[in-house]
Amino acid sequence: DTAVSQTPKYLVTQMGNDKSIKCEQNLGHDTMYWYKQDSKKFLKIMFSYNNKELIINETVPNRFSPKSPDKAHLNLHINSLELGDSAVYFCASSHGTSLYEQFFGPGTRLTVL
């Protein structure tokens, strides 16, 4: 069983479109995250949810909106996609924050044309 899964694995779309990336974890964790990894492999946190409540919201354009329907899911919706949104997006989960191991999904490679 996959601990943290993301769909789709690859996403190619045109500028201006709206798209969603889904994330599910079956580890029973109460904290989930979205990260963006750029072309230089730098991994930057975007959002963090704890028990379905937003606890971290970095300086991310409001075109990005996370949705957590329950503790096991954290989806990422992106409106009006721009070229600069092209990156690999990782979902992760942990049992808590700070001291706990983060389990990462396999990533979603988003390419905006």
Partner 1 sequence: TQLLEQSPQFLSIQEGENLTVYCNSSSVFSSLQWYRQEPGEGPVLLVTVVTGGEVKKLKRLTFQFGDARKDSSLHITAAQPGDTGLYLCAGARGNQFYFGTGTSLTVIP
Token pair recorded at residue 106:
């396999």
Nearest approach, Cβ of 54 to partner 1 (angstroms)?
A: 12
Our finding on whether 102 is near partner 1 (CB under 8 A) is yes
Token pair recorded at residue 40:
């230089």
Nearest approach, Cβ of 47 to partner 1 (angstroms)?
A: 11
Could you identify the residue written with the tokens 């924050």? 97
Our finding on whether 47 is near partner 1 (CB under 8 A) is no
Kindly provide the b/e burial profile for residues 54-76, where b requires at least 16 CB atoms within 10 angstroms of the residue's own CB: eeeeeebeeebebebeebbbbbb
Q: Which is nearer to partner 1, 7 or 102 (CB)?
A: 102
Applying CB under 8 A, which part among 20-28, 60-68, 76-84, 104-112 lies near partner 1? 104-112
Report yes or no: 97 and 30 within 8 Å, Cβ to Cβ.
Answer: no
Nearest approach, Cβ of 63 to partner 1 (angstroms)?
A: 22
Our finding on whether 83 is near partner 1 (CB under 8 A) is no
Report yes or no: 78 and 51 within 8 Å, Cβ to Cβ.
Answer: no
Positions in the binding site for partner 1 (CB under 8 A): 4, 35, 40-45, 48, 50, 55-56, 90, 92, 97-99, 101-107
